[in-house]
Amino acid sequence: MRPESLFPAFVPITSLKGCGPRLAPLVEKLAGGRVQDLWWHLPAGLIDRRYRPSIAEAEPGRIATITLTIDRHQPPRMPRLPYRITAHDGSGELTLVFFNGREDFLKRSLPEGEIRVVSGTIELFDGRPQMTHPDRIGTLEESDQLATVEPVYPLTAGLAPRTLAKIIDGALAKAPELPEWLDPAYQKKQGWPGWHAALMMAHRPESQADLEPSTLPRQRLAYDELLANQLALLLVRRRLKRLSGRPLKGDGRLRDRLEKLLPWPLTNAQRQANAEIAGDMASDKRMLRLLQGDVGSGKTMVALNAMLACVEAGAQAALMAPTEILARQHADTLAPYCEQLGLRIALLTGRDKGKARAALLERLAGGEVDILVGTHALFQDDVAFHDLALAVIDEQHRFGVSQRLGLAAKGQRDKGGVDVLVMTATPIPRTLSLTAYGDMDVSLLTEKPPGRTPVDTRTVAADRYMDVVAAVKRKIEAGERVYWVCPLVEENEQSDLAAAAERHSALKLALEPELGPVIGLVHGQMKAADKDAAMEAFASGATRLLVATTVIEVGVDVPEATLIVIEHAERFGLAQLHQLRGRVGRGGRPGACLLVYSGPLGETAKARLTILRETDDGFRIAEEDLRLRGAGEVLGTRQSGLPDFRLADLAAHGELLVAARDDARLILERDAELAGERGQALRVLLYLFERDAAIQYLRSG
Ligand code: ADP
Ligand code: MG
């Protein structure tokens, strides 16, 4: 049960003053729909109104708060001219200027002959000081409230800065004092304030320096978030490990035969990964292993090896992919091997319905399927295995922890748990992998199969579009195939789609008169069946040029594809570009990648594209990307399945992450049930960051 002290955190923002039906949707879109979402919406800037010069002293261009006597209102003599109000203090005169000023309002707030305080930017007009639209107007009594430092929050269209600041103030007033969950010695060493104080300080910057992620309050808040993340992951992991595994010891007969079937030797990295995985599976502990390998490093073979070991031991294995296309492709890749080995493999996706699906489920439950490949359709309640012992999850960063657990839960309780192998294609820097997986055991495929030539990567300015089209044409005429990837616009599928559709028509016009109908289109909003059809047409050669949004990113294999054009390359993450580039040059013929950018490129964008040109090492690329851009963007958080941190910035707080991991370990070593005083406070922390799903693992299991 959520602790009562946290109730205010989860109240809808509509309960806040000034956040009515018109504004609430805007605030929600910007920060989130609950009061705590506003706690985490930290200022990005500040306005310092503490500068209180006389009129004569005031520096033009600087924000000043000035006390003056109102002299005369001069309403405009013609429409569209400004409304002017003259005023003075002991040092000189100042004109207040209002466009479209409402006379009754101005008369009321700035009455002639009275003293008022105004705050805004002083400018010189014809050598005379004036202030256009003061930000603040108040009486003398209110002057201390005016002359403060105001936080400036990240905004969205339609929401005035002041309005948002007031709503956030209301949210902050509801922040409770919470029990301290940090280790007192560590907190002291870091010099961190308590949670409530840190939150208030983070929202009350006094200078630019207070906005840095390295300030003590921001560090503290970030650490809290990271600690919640690490603690939750550790609880989940401990639970999985504690559920006893079952020793899966195959005799090697299938794996040996597979090796003889393969047209090439396994790489050393593959061999080593196979051995690590087999070791885990043979032990009576639950396997929870991450198989990380760059595009083309041959993860599928490692997965197959693990599944064969499982089948040798008499159990069933499942392989889950994030999309239908990928699931199908995995099934197609594995089927010929399975056939030769006499294994029964089946595919289950969301598209399977009715009788065929029922028949498959029956075979599965009866143990007549050895390897089941599928999408998240594998999670559905009525999918029951005869004896599932290994779940391989080809993640591509798209599944969350809960989904991984979901599949693991499909094993037979009495027989011991399901071993889990997670495959990720994008090399993730260690810091990121920690947040997504905690301390999982990791096997790395650092070496690629021999004989690959790196993809020839070039940058091209967008104004050379016609040259790019000509290059595409030459490839198609030479019998090769080409991907054309359209830009990601603000992660908005609608606009991605529009861009892709438009490019599709333009390329059709440019190329099809000569080449015939060779251009296909695939995007994320197509029905699965249409998507598959478009991919299949490209794979079979019915189409030769495939215009796509980033749906092709995830591991699709078309060996004949030799060129990939990526439009607005500057908008993609490096890791994403690297993934996309990995789609070509898979079939022996060298691949090329044209990164089309719309200039002028900033320094960072330039540095990023250079890295991509210089190296083919996915790990290095990922590290560099993290360094250059910060974690939030590295993998495109929305699609990444990585936790979306609100306070922690992994580029800045990477060390805190490692500390949080160690802290979490120590915490559970000392108080495995989080029962002590600090343990109770840590439970509050988990609830606060909505990692409470992990709390259930404290009791059960
Ligand atoms: P990943 O999933 O890691 O991107 P794949 O498993 O799809 O990579 O393998 C990429 C390609 O390399 C496939 O065509 C596969 O058949 C091939 N391959 C895998 N292992 C080897 C190897 N040891 N030697 C040569 N080719 C290999
Ligand atoms: Mg793959």
272 or 403: whose pLDDT is higher?
272
Name the band, by pLDDT with cuts 50, 70 and 90, for residue 490. Answer: very low
Whether 301 lines ligand 1, by a CB cut-off of 6 Å, is yes
- Section 446-472 average pLDDT: 88
Long-range contacts of 328-331 (CB under 8 A, 24+ apart): 328/532, 329/555, 329/556, 329/557, 330/300, 330/373, 330/394, 331/373
Whether residue 565 is predicted with pLDDT greater than 90 in this model: the reply is yes
DSSP 3-state percent helix, strand, coil across the chain (nearest 5)? 45, 20, 35
Could you tell me if 117 and 53 are in contact, meaning their C-beta atoms sit under 8 angstroms apart? no
Do 243 and 417 form a contact (C-beta atoms < 8 A)?
Answer: yes
Supply the angle between the helices 324-341 and 253-261 in degrees, to the nearest 10.
Answer: 100
Question: Distance between CA atoms of 139 and 110, rounded to whole angstroms?
Answer: 9
d(CA 685, CA 674): 11
Of the listed ligands, the closest to the CA of 337 is 1
Torsion angle, CA of 488/489/490/494, rounded to 10 degrees? -100
Q: Which residue has the higher pLDDT, 582 or 392?
A: 392
Distance CA 168, CA 669 (A): 39
Q: What is the DSSP string of 69-84?
A: EEEEEE--SSTTSPEE
H-helix segments, 11-94? 24-30, 35-39
Residue from 301, 393, 448, 579 whose mutation best tests the ligand 1 pocket (most atoms within 8 A of CB):
301
299 CB less than 6 Å from ligand 1? yes
Judge whether 121 and 62 are in contact, CB under 8 Å. Answer: yes
Q: Which atom of ligand 1 is nearest to the CA of 301?
A: 6
pLDDT at 113 over 90: yes
17 closest CA partner among 197, 167, 133, 208: 167
Q: Furthest-apart CA pair in the chain: how many Å?
A: 99
- CA 222 to CA 195: how far, in whole Å? 11
CA atoms within 13 A on the CB side of 100: 0
Q: Which of 267-276, 341-350, 375-384, 658-667 has the lowest mean pLDDT?
A: 375-384
Which atom of ligand 1 lies nearest, measured to the CA of 265?
A: 23
Q: What is the mean pLDDT of the chain?
A: 86
For residue 554, is pLDDT > 70? no
State the ligand closest to the CA atom of 295.
Answer: 1
Q: What's the pLDDT tens digit per position in 210-222?
A: 999 999 999 999 9
Lowest mean pLDDT among 366-375, 658-667, 689-698: 689-698
600 preceded by a cis bond (ω within 30 of 0): yes
Phi–psi pair at 93, nearest 5 degrees: -115, 155
Compute the distance between CA of residue 374 and CA of residue 262 in angstroms, rounded to an integer.
Answer: 24
Q: Which atom of ligand 1 is nearest to the CA of 394?
A: 2
Q: What is the mean pLDDT of residues 645-656?
A: 84
User: Quick check: 250 pLDDT over 70?
Assistant: yes
Q: What is the mean pLDDT of residues 537-557?
A: 81
Instruction: Reply yes or no on whether the pLDDT at 429 is more than 70.
Output: no
CA 390 – ligand 1 centroid, Å: 21
| Any ligand 1 atom below 6 A from CB of 305 | no
Q: What is the DSSP letter of 34?
A: B
Torsion of CA 143, 145, 147, 149, to 10 degrees: 180
Mean pLDDT of 82-104: 93
Q: What is the mean pLDDT of residues 334-345?
A: 96
Separation of alpha carbons 376 and 364, rounded Å = 16
179 Cβ partners below 8 Å, 6+ apart? 677, 680, 681, 684
Confidence category of residue 420, pLDDT binned at 50, 70, 90 = confident
CA of 485 to the centre of ligand 2 (A): 20
Residue 473: what pLDDT? 96
Ligand 1 pocket check for 376: Cβ under 6 Å = no
The protein residue whose alpha carbon is closest to atom 18 in ligand 1 is 298
Rounded to whole angstroms, what are the CA distances from 207 to 40, 42, 50, 210, 334? 19, 14, 11, 5, 60
Are 204 and 151 contacting, i.e. CB atoms less than 8 angstroms apart? Answer: yes
Q: What are the tokens at 545?
A: 């040029």
Cα(697) to ligand 2 centroid in Å equals 33
| Residue 159 or residue 663, greater confidence | 663
Tokens representing 47? 């306005």
Nearest CA residue ID for atom 9, ligand 1: 298
Between 557 and 11, where is the model more confident? 11
Nearest CA residue ID for atom 24, ligand 1: 449
Q: Is 549 in the pocket of ligand 1 (CB under 6 A)?
A: no
Q: Which residues, listed in sequence order, are joined to residue 597 by a DSSP beta bridge?
A: 461
> Can you point out the beta strands (E) in 523-671?
545-548, 561-566, 592-597
| Structural domains of the chain sorted by starting position, each given as residue range(s) with its CATH number in brackets | 4-46+153-211 (no CATH), 50-147 (2.40.50.140), 253-445 (3.40.50.300), 456-615 (3.40.50.300)
For the CA of 300, the nearest atom of ligand 1: 6
Does the pLDDT at position 238 exceed 70? Answer: yes
Tracing tokens 């993860």 back to the chain, one arrives at 299
Report, as an integer, the average pLDDT of 303-307: 97
Q: What is the pLDDT at residue 635? A: 39
Name the closest-CA residue to atom 11, ligand 1.
296
The three-state secondary structure class of 124 is: strand
CB distance 552 to 583 below 8 Å: yes
Q: Ligand 1 test: best mutation among 260, 294, 300, 305, most atoms within 8 Å of CB?
A: 300
* 404 Cα to the center of ligand 2, angstroms: 18
CA neighbours within 13 Å on the CB side: how many for 163? 14
In this prediction the pTM is 0.64
